[in-house]
């Protein structure tokens, strides 16, 4: 896994401001979906959606 300093550098290089990130992800925060996706991308993660199995 990447080091924390590398992750922070990726966030800084992207369009995520650290102050805004702390506020959005803080206890009273309410991050937008776009913010979550940007953070995931900076951390080398991806978001996938798939159909759930049909019940019945």
Residue 28 counted as domain residue: yes
Residue 47 counted as domain residue: no
pLDDT cut 70: percent of the chain above it: 70
Residue 52 counted as domain residue: no
The total of structural domains in the chain comes to 1
Residue 56 counted as domain residue: no
Decide: 37 and 44 in contact? Cβ < 8 Å. Answer: no
Residue 54 counted as domain residue: no
Residue 50 counted as domain residue: no
pLDDT cut 90: percent of the chain above it: 14
Per-residue pLDDT of 15-40, as tens digits, reads 566 777 777 778 888 888 888 888 88
- Residues of the domain holding 10: 4-42
């Amino acid at each position: 896994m990447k080091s924390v300093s590398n992750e922070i550098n990726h966030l800084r290089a992207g369009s995520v401001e650290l102050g805004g990130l702390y506020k959005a992800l803080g206890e009273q925060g309410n991050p937008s979906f776009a913010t979550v996706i940007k953070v995931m991308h900076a951390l080398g993660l991806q978001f996938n959606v798939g159909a759930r199995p049909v019940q019945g």
